[in-house]
Structure 1
Amino acid sequence: MARREDNRRGKRDEEDNEFTDRLVHINRVAKTVKGGRNMSFAALVIVGDEKGRVGFGKGKAREVPEAIRKASEEAKKTMIRVPLREGRTFHHDVRGRHGAGKVVMRAAPPGTGVIAGGPMRAVLECLGVQDVVTKSIGTSNPYNMVRATFDALKRMESPRTIANKRGKKVAEIVNRRNDGASAPEALDATETVS
């Protein structure tokens, strides 16, 4: 019996080691009751494996560590997978919103770093993004910012999924992207001729 519990504990430790978690926000909540006030804490936690999976969760308890533990468990249950280009940035620009919170995320060249603030930075770092430029518009409420970021991440698609939907090969779609980038150069060439 003890050996079985040790095996379970070992598996839990391995699972915990593969995920990084980040505490984004902690809020002290007071409930007024007949005898006075009951204090409790609400925590917002981001959990990710830094390889394209990320999730968020909320937890509420009388003590801060218990609230964080509850939030981490919920975050692990609600993880999503996001396709990354070269494991460092997004395939395309994307927008997301939740309530009054709006976010814009743009793919960036190597060496740019994570240009994001507050809750968005925590989400992107736990996701494993290394180069991205972001902007948050509207609310600064961390809950709504995180939900808007996740809304944007759920809209992210890889060239492989797009190719499957259209019944084409990935090379055809990727070549079109490169052709689009060279279009301004073609315009410059025609202007100099005329």
Structure 2
Amino acid sequence: MAMSLLRALAQNAKPTIVSLSTIATANLQKVSANHLWDGVTSVSNAGKKRGRGRNAKKRVDLNRGQRLGIGKSGLVYPGLTGPALVGKEMLSISEKKEGQESSEAPRVEKRTRFPKIPALQRGYSGRKFPGTSIGPPDPINDYEFEGFDTRVLEYKMVSHMTGNLGRKMRVSALVVTGNGKGLAGFAVAKAPMGKAALRKAKNMAAQRLQYFERYNDHTVFHNFAVKEHKTTLFVQKMPKGHGLVCHRVLKTICQIIGIEDLHVKTEGRTGNIQNVTKAFFRGLMEQETHQQLADRMQLNVVEYRPELEWLPLPVASPSCGKSRDEPITEEAFDFENMYYQDGKIPLKKQKDPMSRYTKDPVQWKKFLQVHRDRNQVMARNMRIIHGLEPTKEEIKLRQKPLK
């Protein structure tokens, strides 16, 4: 009886279709957040011994400042971020009103480690101190250094050996301060910390100010050469609008002093910043003004300029009111080369006019082609003007063979 019942049920039963589907899961779903953070922030024991954990990253709470139901869209969800009922009326999802304040906590934004420095406030290289401005010196009693600016020229680590502490490291700073009107000074200071060394050097430079005369408030009075140990500077005065063509340290010093047009050639050990600074300040201090030159030579100082069609322009006269009658007997008396040491003048090599052709084989080939017929067009025009150019008939007669 039971077997017959099972057969009847099997005949009347409908077949069922079973479909098997695979769900792709990422490997990140199998790993917890702690394991993921450990893979980024942790360092092995061997790495800790070698010092690899010093720059390890820290964990960041990605959920900080976020609340469930509150986002950038500004929607209000009844029962979650707002009341569900107003009286007996059920509220629906709506946008936030303008006057309604948000209870969302301020989210922590990713902050850069160093703020970006404007291009005009950067130094010589990267974020290093040399070339940067550290402001005016500190006030002395009631006197404030208005209009002054201080620039760092050199910032380095130095050390010396002590008997009880061993090698002791310090910071050495060389700064220059001035008001841009001829008043400037420099100083070197050392301290265990960098900021203390800069502040100490800045205040020391303010106590060593010197005033330098400038010709028309834009350049030096004459060319000169100055040497400090193994560093030599050749300074040349330049006309208005030329600009500063010199070492970057000298350019900074000129900006602090107020010199606008100058050309300086540095030779020797140009990387010794202290020698370069000392030499330039000594050269400016020893320069002779036009009035001092007139009093020393007992002659009138006259300047010639091409923009004034080379007309003589009186610059200075002797203070006694009378110039000497004897002529100049000094050999090689030249104002441009008067202030160089030991009678030596800088060698100015003239540029070879053929260098533009000899360096390039294409230009040299073209030069040889044109060199044969040089000036022939202008010579023919001159012969036509003076009536020396033969006519076509004369040229034909000249081409006939002689009998």
TM-score category (smaller protein) = 0.7 to 0.9
Q: What code does the residue aligned with 2:304 have? A: N
Q: Does 1:52 align with 2:52?
A: no
Distance in 1 (CA, whole Å) between partners of 2:290 and 2:233 is 22
Distance in 1 (CA, whole Å) between partners of 2:160 and 2:230 is 27
1:18 to 139, 147, 159: 147
Aligned to 2:275: 144
Following TM superposition, by how much is the alpha carbon of 1:31 offset from its aligned partner in structure 2, in angstroms? 3.2
Q: What code does the residue aligned with 1:101 have? A: T
Following TM superposition, by how much is the alpha carbon of 1:149 offset from its aligned partner in structure 2, in angstroms? 0.8
Following TM superposition, by how much is the alpha carbon of 1:83 offset from its aligned partner in structure 2, in angstroms? 1.0
Aligned to 2:304: 178
Following TM superposition, by how much is the alpha carbon of 1:27 offset from its aligned partner in structure 2, in angstroms? 1.2
More strand by share: 1
Deviates more, 1:73-82 or 1:59-68: 73-82
- Are 1:83 and 1:157, in contact at CA under 8 Å, matched by a contact in 2? no
1:9–1:100 CA distance, 2 compared to 1 (3 A): closer
Structure 1: gaps of 5 or more residues: 1-7, 183-194
Distance in 1 (CA, whole Å) between partners of 2:248 and 2:298 is 40
Give the TM-score of the pair, scaled to structure 2: 0.39
Aligned to 2:378: none
1:117–1:38 CA distance, 2 compared to 1 (3 A): same
1:158 to 285, 289, 295: 289
Distance in 1 (CA, whole Å) between partners of 2:298 and 2:251 is 36
Percent sequence identity over aligned pairs: 23
Distance in 1 (CA, whole Å) between partners of 2:165 and 2:189 is 25
- Are 1:22 and 1:46, in contact at CA under 8 Å, matched by a contact in 2? yes
Distance in 1 (CA, whole Å) between partners of 2:165 and 2:228 is 38
Q: Deviations over 1:143-182 (max 9, x none)?
A: 11111111211121221233344556xxx21x2x439x95
1:111 to 241, 245, 266: 241
Structure 2: gaps of 5 or more residues: 1-138, 311-403
Q: Deviations over 1:87-129 (max 9, x none)?
A: 1111111111111111111111111111111321121111100
Give the TM-score of the pair, scaled to structure 1: 0.77
- Are 1:50 and 1:126, in contact at CA under 8 Å, matched by a contact in 2? yes
Distance in 2 (CA, whole Å) between partners of 1:116 and 1:99 is 19
Q: What code does the residue aligned with 2:256 have? A: C
Q: Does 1:122 align with 2:252?
A: yes
Q: What code does the residue aligned with 2:191 have? A: A
1:27–1:148 CA distance, 2 compared to 1 (3 A): same
Aligned to 2:264: 134
- Are 1:84 and 1:91, in contact at CA under 8 Å, matched by a contact in 2? yes
Distance in 2 (CA, whole Å) between partners of 1:101 and 1:74 is 25
- Are 1:82 and 1:156, in contact at CA under 8 Å, matched by a contact in 2? no
Aligned to 1:89: 219
Q: What code does the residue aligned with 1:29 have? A: V
Distance in 2 (CA, whole Å) between partners of 1:49 and 1:126 is 6
Runs of at least 4 residues of structure 1 off by over 6 A?
none
Q: Does 1:30 align with 2:182?
A: no
Aligned to 1:5: none
Following TM superposition, by how much is the alpha carbon of 1:49 offset from its aligned partner in structure 2, in angstroms? 1.4
- Are 1:97 and 1:151, in contact at CA under 8 Å, matched by a contact in 2? no
The size of the alignment, in residue pairs, is 168
Q: Deviations over 1:30-57 (max 9, x none)?
A: 3344445432100000111111122110
Distance in 2 (CA, whole Å) between partners of 1:167 and 1:66 is 52
What SS does the aligned partner of 2:240 have?
Answer: coil
More helix by share: 1
Following TM superposition, by how much is the alpha carbon of 1:73 offset from its aligned partner in structure 2, in angstroms? 1.9
- Are 1:47 and 1:76, in contact at CA under 8 Å, matched by a contact in 2? yes
Distance in 1 (CA, whole Å) between partners of 2:181 and 2:304 is 26
- Are 1:26 and 1:43, in contact at CA under 8 Å, matched by a contact in 2? yes
Distance in 2 (CA, whole Å) between partners of 1:32 and 1:79 is 33
Distance in 2 (CA, whole Å) between partners of 1:49 and 1:165 is 31
What SS does the aligned partner of 1:22 have?
Answer: strand
Aligned to 1:191: none
Distance in 2 (CA, whole Å) between partners of 1:166 and 1:81 is 25
What SS does the aligned partner of 2:276 have?
Answer: helix
State the structure with bigger RCO (CA 8 A, min sep 6), 1 or 2. Answer: 1
